[in-house]
Chains A and B, each alone.
Chain A
Amino acid sequence: MAELLQHLLNGLVLGGTYALLGIGLTLIFGLMNVVNFAHGEFYTLGAYVSFAALALAGAGFFVALLAAIVVGAALGWLCEVALLRPLRNESIDTTMLVMIGVWIAMQNAELLGWGGVAKSIPHPFPTAPLVLGPVAIAPLRLFVLVLAAGLIAAAWLLIQKTKLGRAMRATFQDRDTAALMGVGIGRIHAATFAFGSALAAAAGALLGPIFLVYPSMGDLASLKAFSVVILGGLGNLPGATLGGLLLGIAEELGAGYISSGYRDAAGFVIIILVLLFRPSGLFARQERIA
């Protein structure tokens, strides 16, 4: 029983960051209809920014996280304005190819810039795990969990309560009406992409110190993000949150009880099963029109 609880706790830590990845992508893929295969690269970017801040600049953990978010947002904004905006009227396949190109370019730029050797990010937390009853958790992981929860809450608030969030929701529900009401469509698209990318970068900055940082870490992150989005339903924020947590837990349980080698298979299997049997996601309220 204690073992199960431990796995669940580990799964929550992982899942919190997957939820961040998923929320970001559900906005981009679900609302903007952009198949962002480069999403994982923003995750990697966040991890490397965090590495640069912590290992090279000697900055604090919060600063590193903030830097990752800012860089992620900025690059995301740039991507949308330079690459996606001109293609907005093209088919979804075209933007997909472009994002694949960005994926390849970013990953290999990182490979060239940082080298292929995995780096470990130093962090200020003690390594001795905190014991909370039947389970134990490393202080770093606890911190990551808390921060992830905080960021998720902040994201929800932004979407639900702020003017920007309202404008985003309006734009993607009915673009023409939103435009008539004075919403700057271009700015909303750029902001949404920037926001989604920032969340991915944050996830990278959070998970980076727990695992290692290497250029191809984004590949799996992208797929897991898609897995979460598909599980939760496109454009569905609560769905993405829940989906992320579920994926994290599924991975931990799979690694614990089946085999650690197949840990990453959870994401793949989810994609295949959900798309085949419940394409609109586990939590969607209505049938998506394919």
Chain B
Amino acid sequence: MRRAGGWLLAAGALTLPLWLQSPYHVHVAIMAGIFGVLAMSLNLLLGYTGQLSLGHAAFFGVGAYTSALLTLKLEWSFWPALAVAVGLAGAAGFFIGRLALKLRGAYFVLVTISFAGVISLLSVNWIELTNGPLGLPGVPAPALGPWSLRTKTAYYYLVLAAVVLSYAVCRRIVRSRIGRALVALRENEALAESIGVDVTHYLVLAAVVSAAMAGLGGSLYAHYTRFVSPEVFLFTYTVTMVIMVVAGGKGTLAGPLVGAVLFTVLPEALRAVASWQWQMLAYGVLLVALVFFLPRGIVPQLSAAIGGRRRAEPASPTPRS
């Protein structure tokens, strides 16, 4: 049953541009995909290690700016620029991970916010590099060999590939010894240490992968909108990511994707009815409501409803012995 559903989903995703009516709808799908990658990256930290990073926009921004600058100023091709962007974002994650090692909870959050704040200030003030508040227009579209990926449909497939790749990486990590170690750290750090889980190693690993993935999202964003400015560091992006993860279901694989689709499609659908300020206001109220009424998020609630009884959260699918 589940496999059939999976195939259906894959078929739908692969053929989506064919039965969407307008380029605008494809645009929404692309944005949903990019945010899906971002939400999955945040989920890796928040959902699995339990540490909240409110500075994820920094990694997103580093990825976007790196990719944009390399292709604009040094005229690199998209693919190596993407690789370096992902790598640099990952390095930033390593930096944060190692520095913030001793910190947990609120202190980790504060350091991530501060880090994002510093990077944001740099992007505004370091005009020689980033062109300051004016931003970098004219970021080139990617090309695959002779084919330019300029069209929305082509870009959709690029983003889809990134989503699938990110999902696969997350899945492999989560359903392995590494995933178990991360969950152990979240559930009971002292106990995890007593059975040999190296806290440093795993938190830094999670931070690096999470940051690199956010950098991937940043690069995709930059080459899609063809413009990068310090606005990528706006708190609204971070907030949106957090809502997507928390509402979708942190600590699940599908949750962030569901959240990303929901919170990309919904605002667009409601755009005619309510301005984005009303939507952001609603987000704030929604976050509070979620904490009170749906703390585990949508996906766990749904799968509990479908599955019938409440099962213990699986660390990794252990084959029936």
Q: With both chains docked as a complex, state the minimum distance between the C-beta of B301 and any C-beta of chain A, in angstroms.
A: 17
Could you say which interface size class chain B belongs to?
35 or more
Q: Quick one: which of B246, B278, B281, B285 contacts A97, CB cutoff 8 A?
A: B246
- The answer to whether A112 touches B288, judged by C-beta atoms less than 8 angstroms apart, is no
Q: Which residues of B contact A108 (CB under 8 A)?
A: 277-278, 280-281, 284
Q: Quick one: which of A83, A92, A261, A265 contacts B106, CB cutoff 8 A?
A: A92
Q: Quick one: which of B105, B117, B125 contacts A223, CB cutoff 8 A?
A: B117
The CA of A101 and the CA of B104, in the complex, are separated in Å by 21
Number of A-B contacts (CB under 8 A): 117
Q: Does A272 contact B (CB under 8 A)?
A: yes
Q: Does A180 contact B (CB under 8 A)?
A: no
Q: Which of A181-231 contact B (CB under 8 A)?
A: 219, 223, 226, 230
- The answer to whether A98 touches B291, judged by C-beta atoms less than 8 angstroms apart, is yes
Q: With both chains docked as a complex, state the minimum distance between the C-beta of B52 and any C-beta of chain A, in angstroms.
A: 7
Question: Which of A105, A106, A269, A276 is most buried by chain B, counting CB atoms within 10 A of its CB?
Answer: A105
> Which residue on B lies nearest to A265, using beta carbons?
B121
Q: Does B113 contact A (CB under 8 A)?
A: yes
The CA of A108 and the CA of B290, in the complex, are separated in Å by 18
- The answer to whether B117 touches A104, judged by C-beta atoms less than 8 angstroms apart, is no
Q: Which residues of B contact A219 (CB under 8 A)?
A: 235
Q: With both chains docked as a complex, state the minimum distance between the C-beta of A39 and any C-beta of chain B, in angstroms.
A: 12
- The answer to whether A87 touches B291, judged by C-beta atoms less than 8 angstroms apart, is yes
Q: Which residues of B contact A279 (CB under 8 A)?
A: 102-103, 107
> Which residue on A lies nearest to B96, using beta carbons?
A272
- The answer to whether B284 touches A103, judged by C-beta atoms less than 8 angstroms apart, is yes
Q: Does B265 contact A (CB under 8 A)?
A: no
Q: Which residues of B contact A230 (CB under 8 A)?
A: 107, 110
Q: Does B178 contact A (CB under 8 A)?
A: no
Q: Does A100 contact B (CB under 8 A)?
A: yes
Q: With both chains docked as a complex, state the minimum distance between the C-beta of A258 and any C-beta of chain B, in angstroms.
A: 11
> Which residue on A lies nearest to B295, using beta carbons?
A94
Chain A, residues 59-99, CB within 8 Å of chain B (1/0): the string is 00000000000000000000000010011000011101110
Q: With both chains docked as a complex, state the minimum distance between the C-beta of A87 and any C-beta of chain B, in angstroms.
A: 7
Q: With both chains docked as a complex, state the minimum distance between the C-beta of B284 and any C-beta of chain A, in angstroms.
A: 3
- The answer to whether B105 touches A104, judged by C-beta atoms less than 8 angstroms apart, is no
Q: Quick one: which of A97, A105, A264, A267 contacts B291, CB cutoff 8 A?
A: A97
- The answer to whether B278 touches A112, judged by C-beta atoms less than 8 angstroms apart, is yes
The CA of A262 and the CA of B124, in the complex, are separated in Å by 9
> Which residue on A lies nearest to B103, using beta carbons?
A275
Query: Contacts A112-B281, A261-B121, A261-B125 hold; do A93 and B105 have CB atoms under 8 A apart?
Result: yes
Q: Does B197 contact A (CB under 8 A)?
A: no
Q: Which residues of B contact A31 (CB under 8 A)?
A: none
The CA of A86 and the CA of B102, in the complex, are separated in Å by 30
Q: Does B292 contact A (CB under 8 A)?
A: yes
Question: Which of A35, A83, A104 is most buried by chain B, counting CB atoms within 10 A of its CB?
Answer: A104
Q: Does B283 contact A (CB under 8 A)?
A: yes
Chain B, residues 267-302, CB within 8 Å of chain A (1/0): the string is 000000000011011011111101110010000000
- The answer to whether A264 touches B281, judged by C-beta atoms less than 8 angstroms apart, is no
Q: Does A271 contact B (CB under 8 A)?
A: yes
Q: Does B99 contact A (CB under 8 A)?
A: yes
Q: Which residues of A contact B105 (CB under 8 A)?
A: 35, 92-93, 96
Q: Quick one: which of B100, B114, B284 contacts A102, CB cutoff 8 A?
A: B284
Q: List 16 A-B contacts (CB under 8 A).
A: A35-B109, A98-B291, A100-B54, A104-B239, A104-B280, A104-B283, A219-B235, A223-B114, A261-B121, A261-B124, A265-B118, A272-B114, A272-B118, A275-B107, A279-B107, A290-B104
Spell out A's residues near B (CB within 8 Å): 29, 35, 83, 86-87, 92-94, 96-98, 100-109, 111-112, 219, 223, 226, 230, 259, 261-262, 264-265, 267-269, 271-272, 275-276, 279, 290
* Further contacts, 17 of them, CB under 8 A, given A268-B117, A276-B99, A290-B104: A86-B292, A97-B291, A101-B288, A105-B285, A106-B284, A107-B280, A108-B277, A112-B277, A112-B281, A264-B121, A265-B118, A265-B121, A268-B118, A269-B114, A272-B115, A275-B103, A275-B110
